Amino acid sequence: METKADKLQKKAIRDQQKRIKPGECQKYVRMVLDSDILFSKAHGLGHDLKSEIDKLQLNYVIRNLPLKMCVIWERQTGQRELLPTDNLDSPLSAHWDIENQVIQFHTAEELSKERSVSEIVRSLQSSYPEAKHTVALLGHRNKTADSKAVNYSLIDLQVLHQTASVQIPPIAGEVAATLRRFTKAIAEAPYKQQKSETLGTFKKFLANDKKQCVRVVGTSGFGRLWQQHLNRLPLVTLEVAETIIAQYPCPKRLIDAFEKDAETEREKIADLKINRGAPQPLQSDRRIGNVLSGKLHMLYNSRDPNAII
Amino acid sequence: MAQRLEIKLKQPNPLFEKWLEKWLEDAERRNTKSQYKLREALQALRSYPLPLSSGRECAILRGFGTTLCNLIDEELRLYNVKHKNDVPLQSTMQTFESDVKQLVESVKKSKCRNSPKKTQTKITKKVQKAIAEEEERQRQVVMSPGSFRIILLVDTQETSGKNKRTLDQTRSYLESFELLYEVRRLTIGDFLWIARDQEGNELVLPFIVERKRFDDLASSIRDGRFHEQKHRLRQCGLQNVIYLVEDYGDNEHLGLPMESLQQAIVNTQIHSGFTIAHTQNNFRSMKHLQGVTKTLIRCFKEKVLLSTAKENLRPYHSSADMVGLLKFRTLYEDSARGAQLTVREIFVQQLLQLHSLSLEKALAIVEVYPTPRLLLDAFERCTTEKKRNCC
């Protein structure tokens, strides 16, 4: 019997899942811009930036951040305390959690000064030790690319300090567009994280294979399905699969044969001749071979999922 | 039954080898461009098992162009003049053949005396090889400061293949920067850095570069390779992935809207944790790699490098005095597309072949029945009819 508490918990989980879905999630994430950014005279920032951000209808607040010229992000997590009389559908309380990304704006002049990179990294580390930092360089890529000092700084940032950097043309519209991209990516991050947790344990990337999948209607289609099953093994080409299918038209036959007598079956499979079209005098690998035979055996008989094929 | 006898000359071309070594040493000392070709030629000569009688014959080997062959012939001419009356140092094919005949006779005689142990060697040879490979994998390699050189490895796909013009450019830019680099087939990434010591051990620095020109980026997103490539890069064990995005002219006609591509790049930084570097063209990309290489050389100069297994790798900090690194051979073998697949993974892929089975359902099935065998066992145990995958 489901208690009210159980129901509430399930609803909370469902709501949370909905909230991190792409599309929905952006409603719950906002930018926090340091006030200095909006008073900056640098090209691309200041009032121009504010109007561009407003044009894009981005969710943001302005605050005096502990580290100047930074942008951080916050997410509404929907923590709420419910009184017995509260309505379940009441709006989320205004509790915002900080996200783990920080951007700090810099100009090319600042970056070309000596030791500036280590100082920038140090201050970012002390103000936001848990976050991933990005140095946003305001400058045209064409022009700053010629500046050796800036290039060295960027490379030091990348290699010595393992800190990200992004170059933005000093135009308010471009800066706003960059901020929007970051916001979108950060908003969707928990969803992507969830997906990668399950997929990440597999060595092979799994989400791609749907293109060749087989529609099985009634009993037809199983033949093609069996062939594609065999193709999943790295050594199996079309001809190899056909040879196997000729001998074992369906998986059950293969498995039963293994059950009867594994050793002889393996040798039998190993000796199956692959027909590669016109017979050529010097072809040596017309057999299935011991290796592949062994792998087939292991695939359909192993009870250890981590056995390496 | 006939037995196979393998006879190899220890040094079939000692004279030519000596000369090449001397020329290589000179080239290295003067740091000229010819050292790369000389090294390649010397390696090829060392691997060639038969005696060569002239510079012209050397032309069959890799790295021997007309200039080098002529140099050898000239050196040979001078040598013959000097040593007209001496016994020839370099064996010719005829002497080689007669020597081989003699050797075969003597082996035959000794074989008659000893009892044959043929079948024993046949079984253990394969096992021996496997044991040797495993030992090589486990063997610990330590490199102390000053005992290694850092070399940029360039994937063969970056210097040959589809668009030969741009890709020859890559090679010529790298040559002009006078970087220590080598073209090699890589199973993951487009550029890597290795530390190599005198014995030839190679450890991979924890940085890997995937170069993506804007048109590549667009096409890989459209055909689905984008996520697969990123997945493999995250799995390889090299912590710092540099995603080198390169402009393609004016970035027009890419097949996808520019905003989507820009979002994909930001997603790569935020979700996959890669470092993004954005360059305008091939030259600037190579220049960037030159900068990174120099910085890495500076950074790793005083470090002690230790070979480490993938599961024991620790996060890399540039301030550390000692760093655990993967062996190149290990990385190469483990990152190949078909490498190290488990039964579970193949089973999931098989399940996905069915149109109505979604990824979530397949993963759920594999959670309870991780191998085909276990699923079949369960079927056998149950009494009700379920959907089965057979004819």
Which CATH number describes the domain made up of A204-301? 1.10.150.670
B313 and B384 inside one domain: no
**Do B202 and B256 share a domain, yes or no?**
yes
pLDDT tens column, A147-173 = 788 888 999 999 999 999 999 999 999
Backbone phi, psi, residue A106, to 5°: -140, 155
DSSP A66: S
State yes or no: pLDDT of A299 exceeds 90. Answer: no
- pLDDT of B115 above 80: no
- Is B185 found in the same domain as B86? no
* Set of chain A residues whose Cβ sits within 8 Å of the Cβ of B284: 145
* Domain CATH number, residue B193: 3.40.50.10130
Q: How far is A176 from chain B (nearest CA, A)?
A: 13
- A contacts of B207 (beta carbons < 8 Å): 159
Q: Where are the alpha helices (DSSP H) in B282-327?
A: 282-300
- Answer yes or no: is B376 within a domain: yes
Domain presence at residue B115: no
What is the tens place of the pLDDT at every residue in B257-288? 999 999 999 999 999 999 999 999 889 999 99
When comparing pLDDT for B109 and B310, which is higher? B310
| Whole-number pLDDT of residue B388 | 46
Q: Residue B374's closest chain A neighbor by CA?
A: A303
Instruction: Yes or no: say if B277 and B242 are a contact pair by the CB < 8 Å rule.
Output: yes
Torsion from C-alpha of B373, B376, B378, B379, nearest 10 degrees: 180
Distance CA B308, CA B305 (A): 9
Query: What is the rounded average pLDDT of the residues A203-227?
Result: 73
The Cα A19–Cα B142 span in angstroms is 50
Return the residue matching tokens 């080689």.
Answer: B96
- Which residues 6+ apart lie within 8 Å of B213 measured at CB? B245, B246, B247, B248
Amino acid at B3: Q
Cβ(A233)–Cβ(A240) below 8 Å: no
The whole-chain average pLDDT of chain A stands at 83
The confidence band for B129, taking pLDDT boundaries of 50, 70 and 90, is: confident
Compute the residue count for chain B: 391
Tens digit of each residue's pLDDT (9 = 90 or more) over B292-322: 999 999 999 999 999 999 989 999 998 999 9
Provide Rg for chain A, Cα atoms.
30
Q: What is the token pair recorded at B108?
A: 């035959």
CB B224 within 8 A of CB A208: yes
Highest mean pLDDT: which of A104-108, A208-212, B9-13?
A: A104-108
Summarised one tens digit per residue, pLDDT across range B143-184 is 999 999 999 999 987 765 456 676 678 888 999 998 899 999
How distant, in Å, are the alpha carbons of A100, A229, B369, B374, B388 from that of B379? 47, 19, 11, 9, 9
Q: What is the pTM of this model?
A: 0.72
**Cβ distance of B352 and A160 shorter than 8 Å:** no
Closest-CA residue to A147 (of A110, A172, A184, A95): A110
A residues 170-229 near B, CB within 8 Å? 177-178, 181-182, 184-186, 188-189, 192-193, 196, 198-200, 202-216, 219, 222-223, 225-226, 228-229
d(C-alpha B89, C-alpha B332), whole Å = 41
Say whether residue A250 is in contact with chain B using an 8 A CB cutoff.
yes
> How high is the pLDDT of residue A157?
93
Q: How many CA atoms lie within 13 A of A263 on its CB side?
A: 0
Mutate to test the interface with B, among A31, A229, A240, A300 (most CBs of B within 10 A): A229
A147 class by beta-carbon count within 10 Å (0-12 exposed, 13-18 middle, 19+ buried)? middle
Provide, as residue numbers in chain B, all residues whose Cβ is less than 8 Å from the Cβ of A198: 363
CATH classification of the domain holding B22: 1.10.150.110
Residue A15 has a CB neighbour count (10 Å cut-off) of 12
Tell me the mean pLDDT in the region A54-60: 93
The confidence score (pLDDT) of residue B390 equals: 35
Kindly state whether residues B319 and B349 are assigned to the same domain: no
- In this structure, are B257 and B376 located in the same domain? no
The architecture in CATH of the region A9-80+93-189 reads: 3-Layer(aba) Sandwich (3.40)
B260/B355 same-domain check: no
Sign of torsion over alpha carbons B124, B127, B130, B134: negative
- ipTM over 0.90? The verdict is no
- Does an H or E element contain B214, and which? helix B214-223
Beta bridge partners of B231: none
Contact A185, B263 (CB under 8 A): yes
For B:345-384, CB contacts with A below 8 A are 345-350, 352-356, 359, 363, 366, 370-374, 376-377
Closest CA relative to residue B351, chosen from A192, A242, A251 = A251
Is B5 among the domain residues? no
Looking at the predicted structure, is the pLDDT value of residue B227 above 70? Answer: yes
Give the residue numbers spanning the domain of B347. 343-390
Examine the domain organization and report whether B349 and B319 are in the same domain: no
Cα–Cα distance between B44 and B62 in angstroms, integer? Answer: 6
Give me the phi and psi of B313, to 5 degrees please. Answer: -70, 140
Question: What are the tens digits of pLDDT across the range B336-356?
Answer: 877 777 888 888 888 888 877
Inform me whether the pLDDT recorded for A179 exceeds 50.
Answer: yes
pLDDT tens sequence across B179-195: 899 999 999 999 999 99
Percent of the residues in chain B that have a pLDDT greater than 90, as a whole number: 36
Containing B240, the helix (H) or strand (E) segment is strand B240-246
Which of the four pLDDT bands, split at 50, 70 and 90, describes residue B391?
Answer: very low
B278 and B351 in a single domain? The answer is: no
What digits encode the pLDDT tens for the residues B33-42?
A: 888 889 999 9
Per-residue pLDDT tens digits for A136-147: 999 877 665 557
3-state helix, strand, coil in chain B (%, to 5): 55, 15, 35
- How many alpha carbons fall within 13 Å on the CB side of residue A307? 19
Candidate from B16-30, B91-105, B224-238 with smallest mean pLDDT:
B91-105
Q: Which residues of B are catalytic, by number?
A: 155, 158, 190
Between CA B263 and CA A52 the distance in angstroms is 18
Sorted by where each begins, the domain ranges of chain A are 9-80+93-189, 204-301
- CA A33-A39-A45 angle, to 5 degrees, is 70
Shortest Cα distance, chain B CAs vs residue A79, angstroms: 25
- In the numeric block, which tokens belong to residue A4? 């009210």
pLDDT at B326 over 70: yes
The mean per-residue pLDDT over the stretch B13-18 comes to 88
Residue A187 with chain B: CB contacts under 8 Å = none
Contacts of B235 in chain A (CB under 8 A): 200, 203
Q: Distance, in angstroms, between A73 CA and closest chain B CA?
A: 13
Stated length of chain A: 309
- Candidates B119, B185, B213; CA nearest to B335 is B185
Spatial separation of the C-alpha atoms in residues B322 and B313, rounded to whole Å: 12
**Is pLDDT of A47 > 90?**
yes
Q: Is residue B323 part of a domain?
A: yes
Of residues B183, B181, B238, B182, the one with CA closest to residue B210: B238
The 10 Å Cβ neighbour count of residue A278 is 6
Q: Residue holding tokens 């487009």?
A: B190
Binned at pLDDT 50, 70 and 90, residue A189 comes out as: very high
Task: Give the gyration radius of chain B's Cα atoms.
Answer: 28
State the pLDDT at residue B339.
Answer: 73
**CA angle, B276 then B278 then B280, to 5°:** 165
- Sign of the torsion formed by the C-alpha atoms of B261, B267, B273 and B276: positive
CATH of the domain at B378: 1.10.150.670
Whether residues B178 and B247 share a domain: the answer is: yes
- The total domain count for chain B is 3
- The answer for residues whose C-beta is within 8 angstroms of residue A257's C-beta and 6 or more apart is A248, A265
What number is the average pLDDT over the span B13-26? 89
Nearest to A157 by CA among A127, A133, A183: A133
